[in-house]
């Protein structure tokens, strides 16, 4: 049984934030397996398990806040009698550019409180993790990780989650080293500049119905007024 833990914070206010990209990846795998909405709350986590594409997988989202993720991870491993080699932790990483994926078999927390909690609880750094790049925070790390993705990132977020879910499957099937060889060189496509609008402007050209998407919704484009 492979155990995949996605790190995040519970609560609607955190749902779409960069810090919750680990949850988003686990949710994407659950969607593929047809397990969406089937998670059961136990051991301070939402847990769903089953067989998917020939793989026995348990998907875990700790329901503690990020700083206490380790207690949920320890309880799940104990319940399933799972060795650390069968654990993958998926977490956001602001030291990686947005859209980069990076597998590691061990190492420090890199300043990530969720990883730090797991390391402290398990008393080891020797577990695999998939770090998902969320981009440079600038001067305010807390505001960055607890904010929603920027517009030019949101337009590619679905593709990033698909790639990360593929990467999780590769890990579950082939192990960390082969997954790293396959996915550590992954590059997300650049943003479509004609779909990224400056503040206050619309996002891209209108469709055939004269409606185009803006940052705040959908808007009908008024035809130009012809001069007499």
174-207 pLDDT, tens digit per residue, is: 999 999 999 999 999 998 765 554 444 445 555 5
Active-site position among 19, 81, 112, 144: 19
Average pLDDT over residues 29-35: 96
19: annotated active-site residue:
yes
Hey, what are 34's tokens?
């047809």
Residue 139: pLDDT band with limits 50, 70, 90: confident
Global pTM value: 0.84
pLDDT of 41 > 60? The answer is yes
Per-residue pLDDT reduced to its tens digit, 75-119:
999 999 999 999 999 999 999 999 999 999 999 999 999 999 999
2-183 under CATH 3.40.50.1470, yes or no: yes
Cβ atoms of 51 and 18 within 8 Å: the answer is no
Domain ranges of the chain: 2-183, 197-228
The packing angle between helices 69-80 and 113-122, to 10°, is: 50
Name beta bridge partners: 41.
46
Complete DSSP assignment for 15-66: TTBGGGHHHHHHHHHHHHHT-TT--EEETTEEEEEEEETTEEEEEEEE-S-G
């Amino acid at each position: 049984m492979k155990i995949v833990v996605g790190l995040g914070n519970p609560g609607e206010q955190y749902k779409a934030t960069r810090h919750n990209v680990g949850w988003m990846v686990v949710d994407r795998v659950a969607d593929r397996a047809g397990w969406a909405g089937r998670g059961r709350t136990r051991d301070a986590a939402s847990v769903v398990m089953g067989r998917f594409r020939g793989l026995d997988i348990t998907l875990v989202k700790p329901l503690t806040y990020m700083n206490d993720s380790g207690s949920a991870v320890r309880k799940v491993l104990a319940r399933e009698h799972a060795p650390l080699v069968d654990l993958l932790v998926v977490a956001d990483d602001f030291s990686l550019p947005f859209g980069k994926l990076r597998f590691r078999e061990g190492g420090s927390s890199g300043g990530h409180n969720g990883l730090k909690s797991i390391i402290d609880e398990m008393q080891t750094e020797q577990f695999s993790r998939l770090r998902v790049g969320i981009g440079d925070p600038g001067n305010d790390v807390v505001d960055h990780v607890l904010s929603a993705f920027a517009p030019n990132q949101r337009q590619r977020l679905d593709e990033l989650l698909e790639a990360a879910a593929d990467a999780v499957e590769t890990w579950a099937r082939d192990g960390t080293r082969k997954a790293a060889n396959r996915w550590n060189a992954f590059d997300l496509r650049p943003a479509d500049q004609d779909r990224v609008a400056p503040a206050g402007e619309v996002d891209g050209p209108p469709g055939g119905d004269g409606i185009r998407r803006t940052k705040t919704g959908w808007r009908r484009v008024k035809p130009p007024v012809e001069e007499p």
